[in-house]
Amino acid sequence: MFNFFKPKIRTRFAPSPTGFVHLGSLRSALYEYLFAKSQGGTFFLRIEDTDQTREVEGSVENLLKVLEWAGIKPDEGVVIGADGKPTELGKFGPYTQSKRLPLYQKYAEELVAKGLAYYCFCTSERLEELRHTQEANKLPTRYDGQCKNLSATEVAQRLAAGEKHVIRMKIPDNRVIEFNDMIRGTVKVHTKEIDDQVILKADGFPTYHLAAVVDDHLMKSTHIIRAEEWLPSTPKHILLYEYFGWAAPVYAHLPLILNPDKSKLSKRQGDVAVEDYIKAGYLPEALVNYVALLGWNPGTEKEIFSMEELVKEFSFSKVHKAGAVFDIKKLDWMNGEYLKKLPNTKFVQLAQPYLEQNVGVIPEGLDLEKIMILEKDRVAKLSEMGEGIKFLFTDDLSYAGTSLIWKKSDGAGAKTTLSLVAEELGKYSDWSKANLEKSLIEFIKERGLTNGEVLWPLRVALTGQEKSPTPFEVAEILGKEKTLDRINTAIEKLA
Ligand code: GLU
């Protein structure tokens, strides 16, 4: 009997705590999560904080909150503890790189001992000068290997003298590094394209390259799923695995996310921070659904996917190489679809803070729930709540009298119809939207009028706007007294 032993799939999200969460990072985390879940594997979170100069206070807490909001829950690593603060879970910790420094130092020195890495004492001034000269001569900017062949005695002396140094990995002279990428197939890079990469910095911190490789090995990552911008780093990582004698994981480098003009999505051209989308009132289900489709397509017309459906259907065979355009209109449409599907009570609960923020003081006596539900099918995101219905919250509707005139009518006509409508509405005691609509439409027919000549001036009278919900919906919310007041004000404007 064969025993098809397959190692348990383990993916990781390995962000650096530099502030906000980029949409691209959300997508990486999502694909890592979906892949792990679809394979019955484990998804863990590691914090890559080796560049202390870029660290922003509070980033880890924020990151965990964003992941929780999105429903992308790590099984292991840095997670939210019972007290709501970041804590660590799992047997491969610590999962925060700054807590693992001795480990990286040990591994860097192991490579020096094997002759696969070397101490480099070059000063930053020398390196800068070198770069300038190379740039001036139109040469690739590379370390020139000055410290590569220092004698053991010289190295020992300089170390003993306390000279500032880094450790660089040696890149073999004439080799092609090859690896398989789940999205790109076989990738080959010649070592002449690769610099003698620093792996341990002068401050004793590892660079990303060493730390990521050591951790992915020790934390048993089976698949590395990350953005395309990391592709040039991968040959160096493959070499590091080889130098240590470890098996390399499987890679997938995700396509770029682009602006509609095909430039790389960047902060300058709009919102890239997930936090901004949360603030604007996008639903997590909608953003996750949309982000899932940035690079992956299910191969069918289906566009709306729950997280469970994504787990079932996601596969790297349907992730493409070409950049994916971020289309905010599509996201808005999708969010609108999700908002429409929310139960009314849930919608009201989510929408109320946005409405209050947008319209300020809400006059007493208004049925807020009804108002919000009126907006439910109209808004693309919750931050738009109230924008289209400000007329409900103020009696000061500054509109021009001429906008009351329907295109096939005139001022006198508008005035007459509005007077007739006021008289008619004055008789109604059932002020429900349904009754208002039924009775008023009957009235229009009986009088031989047209919907346009009656409903247009009525709607403008009630809202001051040429585009708005129907006059029946608005009248119901305003109540009889306000409705009649507004019609009378309109009649005066036409006088
Ligand atoms: N720390 C890297 C980042 O901030 C992780 C890249 C990787 O996944 O290897 O994106």
Q: Report how far ligand 1's centroid is from the alpha carbon of 196 (Å).
A: 20
Ligand 1 atom 10: residue of nearest CA: 15
Q: Among 267, 302, 318, 346, which one carries the catalytic annotation?
A: 267
- Known catalytic residue at 138: no
Positions of E strands within 2-128: 10-13, 42-45, 76-80, 86-89, 117-120
Question: Both tokens of residue 440?
Answer: 């008023």
Residue 44 near residue 219, CB atoms below 8 Å: yes
Q: What would the two tokens of residue 352 be? A: 């109320």
Architecture of the domain defined by 100-254: 3-Layer(aba) Sandwich (3.40)
Cβ within 8 Å of residue 344, ≥6 positions away: 369, 373, 376
- Residue spans of the domains in the chain: they are 10-97+257-325, 100-254, 343-385, 401-493
Would residue 482 be called left, alpha or beta, if left means φ above 0 and alpha means ψ between -120 and 50 degrees?
Answer: alpha
Ligand 1 pocket check: which of 10, 30, 45, 48 to mutate, most ligand atoms within 8 Å of Cβ? 48
Residues 180, 239 contacting (CB under 8 angstroms): no
In CATH terms, are 10-97+257-325 and 100-254 the same topology?
yes
Structural tokens at position 94: 């610590």
Q: d(Cα 226, Cα 310) in Å, to the nearest integer? A: 18
Domain 401-493: give its CATH architecture.
Orthogonal Bundle (1.10)
CATH number for the 10-97+257-325 domain, one of 1.10.4030.10, 3.40.50.620, 3.40.50.10860, 3.10.20.340? 3.40.50.620
Cα(488)–Cα(481) distance, rounded to whole angstroms? 11
Q: Give the position, in ligand 1's atom list, of the atom nearest the Cα of 230.
A: 6
CB–CB of 17/56 below 8 Å? yes
Q: Taking the model in full, what pTM does it have?
A: 0.91
Q: Closest ligand 1 atom to the C-alpha of 16?
A: 4
Q: Which atom of ligand 1 is nearest to the CA of 48?
A: 1
What the block records as the tokens of 2 is 């064969």
Between CA 223 and CA 231 the distance in angstroms is: 14
Over its length of 495 residues, how does the chain's per-residue pLDDT go in tens digits? 454 667 799 999 999 999 899 999 999 999 999 999 999 999 999 999 999 888 889 999 999 999 999 999 999 999 999 999 999 999 999 999 999 999 999 999 999 999 999 999 999 999 999 999 999 999 999 999 999 999 999 999 999 999 999 999 999 999 999 999 999 999 999 999 999 999 999 999 999 999 999 999 999 999 999 999 999 999 999 999 999 999 999 999 999 999 888 888 876 656 899 999 999 999 999 999 999 999 999 999 999 999 999 999 999 999 999 999 999 999 999 999 999 999 999 999 999 999 999 988 777 778 888 889 989 999 999 999 998 898 998 888 989 999 999 998 899 999 999 999 999 999 999 999 999 999 999 999 999 999 999 999 999 999 999 888 899 999 999 999 999 999 999 999 997
Judge if the upstream peptide bond of residue 94 is cis by omega within 30 degrees of 0: yes
Residues with CB under 6 A from ligand 1: 14-16, 48, 208, 212, 226, 230
